[in-house]
Structure 1
């Protein structure tokens, strides 16, 4: 379904300048932007993927991954097609860069489907816009998130963070949590491996901080973004934003256009050790054998949330403090 986009300007020769992300695509009539889903039709810019859903499921919140936002709950998760980055290691390339079959879900129907899960007794807290890049589904996410908020549901974004500040601020009042990919901590990596830039992503994290719950994921790609100095710089920056922001180091496996070997276990453990010197909550994903997904008190080391895959056992955190030492624990529940 075509839907006029919210952030663009009309230019000479019926060109349309998209303003939703830092690419600022200047799109000629009959053409689409880099994301493949914003199309100029006679000088009017349309989102061609409005309501077009490529995948949806009820997922554990830990799958996003969000470990400090309603742990142990479920969330209705859905995505579309298209992306504004081109990561060589993309794990969802079949929907980001291909043309999968889609199903139309109106904002109203999506909210009703989510509420139905709650009526059936599932601990479904709301909606996660995920699988593909939600900012390339901007108008649909905006409309749906407003309806979801009115219905008492939570809204979660799982995003690459490559968005301009004005659209981000317009959407933030309706967003309860974000997991933001910081794919590396060098502009060189972003330009060569993702066809993007680092600075806009850092700005997204800094802008969203304080407006909603935030967690960060960094996929460590063997030999490309896993060096000690780069990990140290990432940690220093995130600690400067807020040392309570959870950081997830995720293990890379060959995918899409990249066939480098999987991230060595020692690299993941070394990164976690470095990060824990300045950050209070650090996890390793895609490597269950390392047993690094449980939440521990950063002060006394008491295990507060046991995680085995997506099986979660929560200790007594009703008062938001460690039951052993009384340390304040950042958990939204």
Structure 2
């Protein structure tokens, strides 16, 4: 994917200029006539900061973790999907957008706030960009249940990221965005966010290590787009280097997508002599172990029963020793009753 060119305005005071400059924002804050709201799906999008929402607004794109992307993509295949955005600690919803495409696992944006964490893209268009305080939504409640915990009733602004709203709650939120006016919006911070984005672009474009890592993670992601985690992949790389010395020889690790598929591809190891040596030695040791067990005399349960019958009661044992002052001390050690082997009748 060709990365979108950096775009910015000297000022974000003129809403008409914003609409003309940024295609995904050309229809924002109009009196939209919604259709098929009763057949649509609605999701809460909660982001870590304003930077990612700033880029999503300017370039009309969005992505999240693999499981959440799969959830949104499935919803898009069933009808219209609307997203309500809020940033952590913002105390307001900042915008409402609509998905205009399914998930594309081979298109990637390099300039999200945290590098090399999110891959793949949805295309979105924005309907409203305005700050609406949470108090406007406090009467809209929804049950949320986490695995292994009880159900809790929460206001919609307390729901976790990518929570699907009930149809009734989604329609209520869309109507609030349509009718409520606000003089505040994220555009007030766009100038500063533009500077941060431009700095990020320059640093990553001039860093060959970033590009190398980006291409590596991108190629892995495209093989498993709905189960990929950059953090998990990095942990695996640190724990298991590509080449290493393990047990009985030099071997090559399987690629991440091969081992993550859930199928242990044993065939690729069989060509290495070290693998055969390991297998033969393991088999020999296993055979000796079980052959040794087979040669042992069988246990005579009657003898064992009689022996333990004599030890089934507690008994006392006296011990004497000298303390630091060379005084003799006597104490009694009591042994607990041991497990009795029942005699077969």
TM-score range, shorter chain: under 0.3
- Structure 1 or 2: larger helix share? 2
Q: Which has the larger radius of gyration?
A: 2
TM-score after normalising by structure 2: 0.20
Q: Which has the higher contact order (CA 8 A, sep 6+)?
A: 2
If the length of structure 1 is used for normalisation, what is the TM-score? 0.21
